[in-house]
């Protein structure tokens, strides 16, 4: 059953969606992302990451963005993303569980379609915000 636009309230929560991103997940992603199977070495090699000034191997940004989009689309149940704006606050390391969650911050109609704005985050399980952003979801009315 699709979500009811009129039943959505400012302050409603999205998620959480818990994920664990493994080094193998990142290797698979970087092979798909680049035809030559490469990608920056700091995504998969700790020594390269440290040479680049990072704390270790990091998760590519599009993976975090995909999780944010997954949460928004599954929550909206029939809606679609109009805009996803993301700010990478801290590197997301491999092998740690993360939580993707959000909160409804506004809702309005444009040309007869219900629009819902949400703040959305990828956080460590300790509550450190690693990636933050805003998503606008269009809900059929």
- Identify the H or E element spanning 80: strand 80-88
Does the domain at 9-21+59-139 match CATH 1.10.1060.10? Answer given as no
Quote the pLDDT of residue 134. Answer: 98
In 3D space, the residue among 139, 135, 124, 120 whose CA is nearest the CA of residue 15 turns out to be 120
Query: pTM of the predicted model, to two decimals?
Result: 0.89
d(CA 27, CA 20): 14
State CA 50 to chain mean position distance: 25
Quote the pLDDT of residue 38. Answer: 57
Quote the pLDDT of residue 35. Answer: 58
Quote the pLDDT of residue 40. Answer: 74
3-state secondary structure of 29: helix
Quote the pLDDT of residue 31. Answer: 80
Mean pLDDT by 10 residues, the chain (141 residues): 86 97 88 66 84 89 95 94 96 93 97 95 96 96 79
pLDDT digits (tens, 9 = 90+) for 99-133: 999 999 999 999 989 999 999 999 999 999 999 99
What are the angstrom distances between the C-alpha of 121 and each of 32, 66, 115?
A: 25, 12, 19
d(CA 89, CA 100): 14
């Amino acid at each position: 059953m699709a979500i009811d636009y009129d039943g959505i309230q400012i302050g409603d929560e999205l998620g959480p969606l818990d994920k664990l991103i493994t080094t193998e997940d990142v290797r698979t992603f970087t092979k798909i992302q680049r035809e030559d199977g490469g990608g920056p070495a700091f995504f998969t090699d700790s020594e390269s990451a440290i040479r680049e000034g990072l704390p270790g191997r990091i998760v590519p940004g599009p993976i975090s963005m995909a999780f944010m989009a997954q949460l928004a689309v599954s929550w909206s149940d029939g809606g679609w993303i109009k805009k996803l704006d993301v700010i990478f606050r801290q590197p997301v390391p491999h092998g740690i569980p993360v939580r993707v969650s959000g909160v409804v911050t506004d809702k309005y109609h444009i040309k007869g379609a219900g629009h819902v704005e949400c703040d959305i985050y990828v956080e460590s399980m300790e509550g450190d915000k690693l990636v933050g952003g805003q998503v606008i979801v269009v809900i059929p009315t």
